[in-house]
Chains A and B, each alone.
Chain A
Amino acid sequence: MALIKRPRQDDCETLVIQPLVNIQTEGNEVIVEAEMVGLTKDDISLDLKGSELTLRGKTRQNNETVPKGYTVIYKERCPLEYVRSFVVGDDIDKSKIDAQYVNGILRVKLLKSKDAQPKKIEIKG
């Protein structure tokens, strides 16, 4: 099998990227899973401004990446800044947004408000 050779980069610039997301609905839940690798819980911010939900996260800066006593042989993991915004619909209960960060995935759980759930309307007659 061929070895993948990539250029050595001692000092790569910060990339600002949109995290890749999966969005799925399950009953009255909407689950957004964003790939934001190598952060800690405190590096992530989740803001709701009006109906705009913004995920942000900033990873490892160049000077922090090289462990003490080590030298760089090669480097592909550049400093990253994650930013992505979503518009949250009116049917989402904005007071019940819940987020969890596990294994590099930020999982945001949104709940549809009661009013937005389908109601069966009886027909009289």
Chain B
Amino acid sequence: MAIIPWKPKETWWDPFRDLETIQNEMNKLFDSSLVRFGDRNAGLLDGAWSPAIDVYDSKDNVMVKADIPGMSKDEIDVSVRNDILMIKGEKKHEKETNEKDYVKTERFYGAFNRALRLPSEVDASKVEATYKNGVLELILPKKEESKPKQITIDVK
């Protein structure tokens, strides 16, 4: 057997060390991108940020709730055309900081745009919007003509 010159232990070539590194990296990747979104197709796959939305329906109104953390209400733009609702906005860094001052930056920044079809046409002039605790809540009154109509049938 050849004599191998002595080296400090850390520099020995360990074939499993690289594998371990890869495994750690993969775990980190899945932890940070997939777990957060559950089965939603955002993050890793879309490469874009878009808020999660709920849509609720009642006789007179449609209610939409969206999770948009860390914005001010002026930065969110809501528009309605017929039965299409658009929520737009741009999340900016709150203030300029030297990059070296950041230890970790995980939060998403940038523009988002979501459009969705509402269950019926709504009156755009009467939309009520509130933004509280990072949740945008919209109450959109339905147009008279698109409300379900009750027809009484006389039984003779």
Q: Interface on A for B, CB 8 Å cutoff?
A: 1, 3-4, 6, 12, 15, 17-18, 20-26, 30, 33, 35-40, 65-67, 69-78, 101, 103-105
Contacts and interface: CB of A to CB of B under 8 A. Distances in A.
Given A26-B101, A37-B67, A103-B69, A3 B116 contact: yes
A99 B106 CA distance: 19
A26 B58 contact: no
A90 B59 CA distance: 59
B111 interface: no
B94 to A, nearest CB: 9
B69 A70 contact: no
A77 B35 contact: no
Contacts of A15: 38
Contacts of B84: 3
A71 B58 contact: yes
Interface of B: 31, 35-36, 38, 40-41, 50, 52-59, 61-63, 65, 67-72, 84, 97, 101-108, 113-117, 119, 131, 133-135
Nearest to B72: A103
A20 B107 contact: yes
A15 B36 CA distance: 8
Nearest to A78: B38
Contact of B115 (A1, A24, A73, A75): A1
B115 A76 contact: no
